[in-house]
Amino acid sequence: MRKNIVAGNWKMNNSLQEGLTLAKDLQKALNGKTVNCDVIVCTPFIHLASIAPELTSIGLGAQNCADKVSGAYTGEVSAAMIASTGAKYVIIGHSERRAYYGETNAILKEKVLLALANGLTPIFCIGEVLAERESGSQNAVVEKQIRESLFDLSVADFGKIVLAYEPVWAIGTGKTATSAQAQEMHAFIRKTVEAKYGKQAAEDVSILYGGSCNAGNAAELFANPDVDGGLIGGASLSVEKFLPIVEAF
């Protein structure tokens, strides 16, 4: 079944102490509240084990995982290590990983397989850069990202994936996709999934929007029939900014 989800992507922000305080404050703010979506925070690796015991209703995720099982890969963190902290989610294929760390569709495919093998839910990011949007090739770009990284999965495994459409030109720029642009792309993504995995899989997959989503625009974005929530960067770094987005559902 399709779920509404609001996930925070803290990116490379917050010391361990600051992260712990933010996680505790957010959990406290949600205690006793009924919300109409799953709430997730994706923290830096080193925060995971400390934050996991503090969360009761909030899901915990990492922002990346290695494309290898284990071994001599200095500085890498495996999907198994992430799972061992109690985290249940992992962002894979964020545009910052693609752009700054050379992560290709083929590498991301390996990461997805390892996340699934370790019981983690991948939050798989897709999205075009500005030049691609301006040349009208955004659909082709997003279709290729999905096909090359995800379309060898079984229908059962695909059913474990959460998708996040993040137009790169909207990330951290204050320039949100319009509600209509988001809906149009999310409907296209759902159609792409349907063509490969059928109607039920397309109906069931949660597709989040990310890119300058905030308290002021979340409700309008989430009201679209194919927008099932948000992946939130900057506005996930304070309870005051994040909570109204959660409550936009």
Question: What helix, strand, coil percent values describe the chain, rounded to 5?
Answer: 45, 15, 40
Question: What does the block give as tokens for 65?
Answer: 């995982």
Helices assigned H by DSSP within the chain: 16-30, 48-51, 79-84, 95-100, 105-117, 130-134, 138-150, 155-158, 179-197, 199-204, 218-222, 239-246
User: What is the sign of the dihedral through the CA atoms of 73, 74, 75 and 80?
Assistant: positive
The one among 213, 218, 227, 239 contacting ligand 13P by CB under 6 A: 213
The one among 9, 64, 78, 149 contacting ligand 13P by CB under 6 A: 9
Give the shortest CB-5-to-ligand 13P separation in angstroms.
13
Indicate the length of the chain as a whole number: 249
Answer yes or no whether residue 44 interacts with ligand 13P by CB under 6 A. no
Stretch that binds ligand 13P, among 25-33, 82-90, 205-213, 239-247 (CB under 6 A): 205-213
Query: Does 47 qualify as catalytic in the annotation?
Result: no
Tell me how far apart the alpha carbons of residues 70 and 89 are, in angstroms, rounded to a whole number: 19
Give the shortest CB-123-to-ligand 13P separation in angstroms.
9
Stretch that binds ligand 13P, among 18-26, 29-37, 112-120, 207-215 (CB under 6 A): 207-215
Give the shortest CB-32-to-ligand 13P separation in angstroms.
27
Q: Of 136, 99, 94, whose CA–CA distance to 111 is shortest?
A: 94
Dihedral-angle region of residue 212 (phi above 0 means left; psi in -120 to 50 means alpha; beta otherwise): left
Give the shortest CB-166-to-ligand 13P separation in angstroms.
5
Answer yes or no whether residue 61 interacts with ligand 13P by CB under 6 A. no
Tell me how far apart the alpha carbons of residues 92 and 133 are, in angstroms, rounded to a whole number: 22
Taking a C-beta distance cutoff of 8 angstroms, is the pair 215, 245 a contact? yes
Q: Which of residues 64-103 bind ligand 13P (CB under 6 A)?
A: 94
Query: Does 186 qualify as catalytic in the annotation?
Result: no
Answer yes or no whether residue 145 interacts with ligand 13P by CB under 6 A. no
The one among 55, 142, 234, 249 contacting ligand 13P by CB under 6 A: 234
Answer yes or no whether residue 172 interacts with ligand 13P by CB under 6 A. yes
Q: Where along the sequence are the contacts to ligand 13P (CB under 6 A)?
A: 9, 94, 166, 171-172, 210-213, 231-235
Residues annotated catalytic, as ranges: 94, 166
